[in-house]
Structure 1
């Protein structure tokens, strides 16, 4: 089992609520002791009324950078298709600096993926293409992003952690092996060992020790028994999604208590 501490992330889904409610929920979650806050990078709700209230991810994150003082935060996950890679790098660097107020070290996590929600593409005028094409575009974008971080003035305040979401065995896990500091998935505890074997094979092929990569998971059922099973497989970052209009934090409190027993 890994020696990394268990961390709890909460995805504050930017749907079906006013920004005032989202803001209040972010403040509450930081006060409760959550380790990481996430949103998602979509333009429309993913559940409930498909035309309900919704906000854009990156501008929201800039607000969180000013609003919070302790938590790390990012998008779970950014859609690589929606923005030029060099622009993504510059936006990430800027938010990193905003969040470092008072300490000089930012708290931004660059969570990214290849994109999948076709309505976003259609209504905002992006070419949807195929899943393979979108993954190829992500593989091409990440070196540009990493290169741009080396050129920006000022540079990022720290080595911005890269979180990559997805579990595709041929392309996604190879991208994870090459670029990720954190790998995020919905993979079950039963299937995780097989996926990790594939990840290790990709690591060997790209010359990376994949034990460096933190394992992140969002259990499809918020059941602490599942969390125990995933923990045995090496998962240390657990993410819970909560949605507007209410952003119920009761389950978050239960998982924070479990985290504290794991880290005692």
Structure 2
């Protein structure tokens, strides 16, 4: 029976879909337009259509889900629709990616609220009784590929990002998420939240060192204010800028953004995230 992969044409679902296919597993891309998918292993879904989700999920060995980047109202409706489809179709296994939302720090100001879309999705899957696990990355290394970040690092030797120089983060890549999600899909013995990323966290010197090794010259780090970062990304992402700036403002009030050791992929799955240089090399392949 197939593994249904939401977002198989995107940055997060794509590496997982490819990983499963390389392993000879029956991976099926869940996409809106199957005609645009490069091969015939796709099924049409629409997160606004419960019936399409039920049809895709029924008989599946596993489903990988992450909510798309849209309005929170839209994400909430998608979460409710997905939960309804899971309750009806009863696939054997569900893996949810939080896509950077923090769901395993109760009491923290960074913890996603109970009425947020991601928590509605997680709680609904828990209540469905279907075997499941949650992969919980923090910040993605792929954020450093944004042209306003990667460009100055490459041309001017300055890596700019809106976190303080001594702020520790469990950085991870989409490839790390795919590796963990693959293992969790085929191993139903692990449940609960699995943190993805470096533990202990990386600080700016670690990022700069990885870039220096890759480029063969010194790269220095420069912390940006969230508002200044917002000015750089606003022409690219438009109205979504406000939520991005809000995230980095919130992070500034927390001592770090680091996953818990006891629920990390290192501890639970024996998986370790790529170093910054390993990830940069992978991005060039």
Indicate whether the TM-score tops 0.5.
no
TM-score (norm 2): 0.33
More contact order relative to length (CA 8 Å, sep ≥ 6) = 1
- Structure with larger Rg: 2
